[in-house]
């Protein structure tokens, strides 16, 4: 653990979920707002610290577990999700939360993201999306705009950005939401909903980088973001896709939420079937004859 675990009694103060390690993000980084929202959500839910596991990959936002009082695992670049799935499957009683950035999640970790969506493991994935590689000094990322100028693309990026919300919807995530780090109270509510959801809960949070991305700033998002209409049916995937692909506004809120059997439940069902009727090798051969 990053700090000693508390007793199983519920903790009610967000400070009780913060470690003694100094936060090393740049002044003005959007990740501060996400850290505050996560800490508030934990306190609101009164989550036992010994039940919490935070898993991260590589990047500025992947330092997140260091600043949180919980069990934590800082793994390899892009390998957050398979590690988190392994933990969640090995011990279904734990609350497993992945925290990372857009580069870690959608570039080297993109393949794992697709399969986590379709498998529906009972874990939560919070991605702090700043549309830049911040830790390695400002290269363009998978969510950077077409024509985005950085040190690695001095004449502008020639790649269209991916749409994480549409990806999550199409590949089968059972909870899909988007927030904005400068609205931590709204983010807190989204995190609470994600934690309470049974299944793979994906939350993309716009988290501006004031050091290397001067385009997608707080002011930019304030002008672009718009809450999803109250009339939006969160079980209507077609409607969610329409809002996700809207070019005029960047909608925030819960796009889609619908529970279905989790990976843990399906594996438990397989184990039960195997214990009742073990399969012999000759039976496997007969399946293909």
Q: Is 275 within the bounds of a domain?
A: no
Q: Is 177 within the bounds of a domain?
A: yes
pLDDT score, position 114: 96
Specify the DSSP element, H or E, that contains 53. Answer: strand 52-56
For residue range 239-282, list pLDDT tens digits in order.
999 999 998 899 999 999 999 999 999 999 988 888 887 777 77
Structure tokens at 121: 């493991």
Q: Is 289 within the bounds of a domain?
A: no
Q: Is 9 within the bounds of a domain?
A: no
Orientation angle between helical segments 184-196 and 31-45, nearest 10 degrees = 50
pLDDT score, position 119: 97
Taking the model in full, what pTM does it have?
0.91
Q: Which residues of the chain have pLDDT under 50?
A: 1-9
Residue-level length of the chain: 289
- DSSP-based three-state secondary structure for 35: helix
pLDDT score, position 285: 67
Q: Is 273 within the bounds of a domain?
A: no
Distance of CA 105 to the CA centre of its chain: 8
For residue range 157-175, list pLDDT tens digits in order.
999 999 999 999 999 999 9
Q: Is 46 within the bounds of a domain?
A: yes
Structure tokens at 277: 């009727």
Q: Is 239 within the bounds of a domain?
A: yes
pLDDT score, position 284: 67
Specify the DSSP element, H or E, that contains 255. Answer: strand 250-257
Q: Is 93 within the bounds of a domain?
A: yes
How would you list the strands of the sheet with 71-74, edge to edge?
Answer: 71-74, 52-56, 95-101, 124-129, 201-206, 175-180, 250-257, 225-227
Q: How far is CA 227 from CA 74, 159, 256, in A?
A: 33, 28, 14
CATH assignment at residue 131: 3.40.50.970
Residue 234 structural domain: 14-260
Q: How many separate domains does the chain show?
A: 1
Structure tokens at 270: 């397989």
DSSP-assigned states of every residue in 107-126: IITHHHHHHHHHH--S-EEE
């Amino acid at each position: 653990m990053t700090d000693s675990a508390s007793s199983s009694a519920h903790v009610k103060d967000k400070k009780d979920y913060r470690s003694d390690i100094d936060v090393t993000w740049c002044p003005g980084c959007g990740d501060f707002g996400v850290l505050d929202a996560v800490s508030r959500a934990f306190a609101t839910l009164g989550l036992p610290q010994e039940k919490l596991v935070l898993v991260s990959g590589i990047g500025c936002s992947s330092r997140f577990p260091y600043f949180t009082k919980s069990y934590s695992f800082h793994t390899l670049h892009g390998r957050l999700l398979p590690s988190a799935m392994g933990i969640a499957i090995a011990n279904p009683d734990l609350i497993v939360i992945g925290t990372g950035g857009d580069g870690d999640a959608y570039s080297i970790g993109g393949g794992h993201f697709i399969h986590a969506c379709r498998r529906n493991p009972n874990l939560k994935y919070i991605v702090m999306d700043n549309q830049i590689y911040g830790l390695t000094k400002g290269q363009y990322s998978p969510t950077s705009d077409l024509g985005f100028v950085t040190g690695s693309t001095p004449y502008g990026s020639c790649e269209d950005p991916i749409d994480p919300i549409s990806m999550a919807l199409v590949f089968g995530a059972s909870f899909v939401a988007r927030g904005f780090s400068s609205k931590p109270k709204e983010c807190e509510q989204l995190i609470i909903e994600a934690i309470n959801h049974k299944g793979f809960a994906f939350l993309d949070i716009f988290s501006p980088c004031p050091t290397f991305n001067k385009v997608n700033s707080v002011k930019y998002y304030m002008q672009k973001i718009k809450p999803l209409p109250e009339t939006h049916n969160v079980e209507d995937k077609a409607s969610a896709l329409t809002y996700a692909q809207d070019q005029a506004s960047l909608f925030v809120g819960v796009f889609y939420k619908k529970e279905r059997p989790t990976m843990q439940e399906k594996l438990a069902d397989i184990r039960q079937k195997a214990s009742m009727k073990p399969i012999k090798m000759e039976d496997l051969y007969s399946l293909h004859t």
